Amino acid sequence: MPAEPHAAPHTHEPDEVPHTHPDPGVDPHAPLAAGARALRVGIGGPVGSGKTALVAALCRALGDELRLAVVTNDIYTTEDADFLLRNGVLPADRIRAVETGCCPHTAIRDDISANLDAVEDLEAALGPLDLVLVESGGDNLTATFSKGLIDRQIFVVDVAGGDKVPRKGGPGVTAADLLVINKIDLAPLVSADLTVMDRDARARRGELPTVFLSLVQDRAASPVADWIRGLVAARVPAA
């Protein structure tokens, strides 16, 4: 079910909507200046879709090659941060939990101050970082990150939510820089049709990439880790 390989090399029309290239892992958005600060990637999506499991997998996959840190946003507790600690994927000083006051989407979109404080505190305490992952509290299909907080965002949905989710759209599904359809190992159990999800995701997202994933089968979240490697590699040195 992976997205079709890009016809490479290929050209772009000047007025074309910007899109990412899942296949070569090269990002054609205006490149982010390297060096000034870490690349910040937001990870959003509905409750229980696998955001924390994805963060843990990315820490396992990238922890040795990138200087990375994580900010979690839990609605009630520090559950997500605790999970990452328990699983030993990252040392405690690389994880910060932000409390979101009833409204997880407010903390990542309308009033991002607590998250920015957390990112800045991590960089102040740890020195320069390559990558900061910001996990939002589980929310609904309308929750997206502010560009004031993150550089790129991943939206995680799962097949157990029904194969209708990509069709329903919403800014997370339509506009996230990467859509992850997780828990494909469960598809037969919940009668989810992945070809329908793939077709609907393409219709909603144009050329923005979508990947299918099972975090129980692929503990390194390979397609997502590759996408992030591409983003980091594409950063241009600061002038």
Partner 1 sequence: MSLATLLVLADGRLPSGGHAHSGGLEPQVSAGRVRELDSVAEFLRGKLATTGLVAAAFAAAACARPGNGAEFDQGIDVRTPSPALRKASRAQGRALLRAARAMWTLPSAGREPHQPVALGIVASAAGLGALEAAVAAAHGTVSGAASAAVRLLGLDPYAVHGLLARLAPDCDRIAAAAAKTAGAPVDDLPAAGAPLLDIGAELHATWEVRLFAS
Ligand X SMILES: Nc1nc2c(ncn2[C@@H]2O[C@H](COP(=O)(O)OP(=O)(O)OP(=O)(O)O)[C@@H](O)[C@H]2O)c(=O)[nH]1
Query: Which residues of this chain interact with partner 1, rule CB under 8 A?
Result: 75-77, 99-103, 106-107, 110-114, 116-117
Contact between 185 and 213 (Cβ < 8 Å): no
Q: Which is nearer to partner 1, 107 or 221 (CB)?
A: 107
Range list of H helices, 1-155: 51-62, 79-86, 104-105, 113-126
Contact between 176 and 44 (Cβ < 8 Å): yes
- State the DSSP code for 39: E
Place of tokens 């070569």: 24
Q: Which of 32, 38, 42, 52 binds ligand X (CB under 6 A)?
A: 52
Shortest CB 39 distance to Mg ion, Å? 21
214 binds, among ligand X, partner 1, Mg ion, none (CB under 5 to 8 A by kind): ligand X
At residue 174, what is the residue type?
T
3-state secondary structure of 134: strand
Letters for 134-173 (x = contact with ligand X by CB under 6 A, - = none) are ----x-----------------------------------
The answer to whether 48 contacts ligand X (rule: CB under 6 A) is yes
Q: CB nearest Mg ion: which residue?
A: 52
Q: CB nearest ligand X: which residue?
A: 138
**Rounded (5°) CA angle 47-70-76:** 40
Binding site for ligand X (CB under 6 A): 45, 47-53, 80, 138, 182-183, 185-186, 214-216
